[in-house]
Amino acid sequence: MIKNILKGITSYANSFKLIAQLKLWKYFFIPIGISIVTAVFIGFTSYTLADDIGTFISKIWIWDWGKETFTSISNFVGGATVILLGLVLYKHIVMALSAPFMSPVSEKIEAHFTKNTNHEHRKTSFNDQLWRGVRINLRNLWKEILFTIPLIILGFIPVIGIASTILIFLVQAYYAGFGNMDYTLERHFKYKESIQFVKKNKGFAIGNGIVFILFLLIPVIGIILVLPLSVTAASKQTVAILENQKH
């Protein structure tokens, strides 16, 4: 698992060079626009809701003593929760809506590494790719929230909270990598087959997603570059796995 996670991380190497070599930047203009608009919308919404959630949580404390301290903690927790859920939503919205634009990118990368432009891939239209992206990311969004909410609750327990934070990060990374890998898998496998493929190669998905999440921590530049680099890296790695399975 650790070895595969490291491979998923190192697959980002030379991504800029590959994008330039294959002239892929033009395919990223619309997805970058989607990323920016989604980030601004979710950021504004999160900012607006954070205080409301904090106020709601603070009402749990009915006593006068310690009220101010509990309110401050509630505001922090409310803000952190909104930011986390906002990140989850951002990730899946962007990856779902970008699916039709990322499929050609991954196909060109596959043709480059396999030296074969005549693959017998599944034939899918723009609408097929969009629906596939929406379906995969709705499924992943549900799963991610299902795992994340209990981990947030566990995070309030001393000591266990540290492990909870790490697990939340890894869950986020896994589903980010999942979405990026599916741009390639869409041509090779049906919906359920792709899910099984990623489960068997979860280390690669986590490694790809770790860098994806870290990129989002970089103001402005992160939301611009995250999709081009993560999709390029995931496509390279997924193609390599598929090729290895043939031998």
Whether 61 is in a domain gets the answer: no
Query: Does a structural domain hold residue 57?
Result: no
- Give me 5's structure tokens: 């996670």
Which residue's entry shows tokens 């603070």? 58
The 10 Å Cβ neighbour count of residue 156 is 11
Return the half-sphere exposure (C-beta side, CA atoms, 13 A cut-off) of residue 243: 14
Locate 228 and state its tokens. 């081009």
Number of structural domains the chain divides into: 1
- Give residue 122's pLDDT: 62
Q: Please answer whether residues 74 and 137 qualify as being in contact, where contact means their C-beta atoms are separated by less than 8 angstroms.
A: no
pLDDT value, residue 151:
87
pLDDT of residue 67: 61
- Report whether 152 contacts 167 (CB < 8 A): no
Q: What is the pLDDT of residue 85?
A: 80
Residue 53 lies in a domain: no
Please count the other Cβ atoms lying within 10 Å of the Cβ belonging to residue 56: 12
DSSP secondary structure letter of residue 125: -
What range does the domain containing 179 cover? 2-37+98-114+123-245
- Tell me if 137 is assigned to some domain: yes
Residue 160 lies in a domain: yes
CA 217 – CA 222 distance, rounded (Å): 7
Alpha-carbon distance of 4 to 205, in angstroms, equals 9
* 122, 187 Cβ separation under 8 angstroms: yes
Q: What is the DSSP string of 27-86?
A: GGHHHHHHHHHHHHHHHHHHHHHHHHHHHHHHTT---STTHHHHHHHHHHHHHHHHHHHH
Q: Which residue type is seen at 226?
A: V
What pLDDT does 106 receive?
92
Rounded Cα–Cα distance for residues 146 and 154 (Å) = 13
For 210-228, the pLDDT digits (tens) are 999 999 888 889 999 999 9
Q: Is residue 59 part of a domain?
A: no
Q: What was the pLDDT predicted at 56?
A: 64
Low-confidence ranges of the chain (pLDDT < 50): none
* Stated length of the chain: 247
Q: What is the dihedral of CA 98, 143, 50, 220, to 10 degrees?
A: -30
Closest CA to 207 of 232, 178, 246: 178
pLDDT reported for residue 125: 75
- Coil/strand/helix, residue 232: helix
How far is 144 from 155, CA to CA, in rounded Å? 16
In a domain, 70, yes or no: no
Predicted confidence at residue 64, as pLDDT, reads 59
Distance CA 244, CA 247 (A): 5
HEC sequence for 11-42: CCCCHHHHHHHCCCHHHHHHHHHHHHHHHHHH
Each residue's pLDDT tens digit, 7-58: 999 999 999 999 999 999 999 999 999 999 998 888 787 777 666 666 666 6
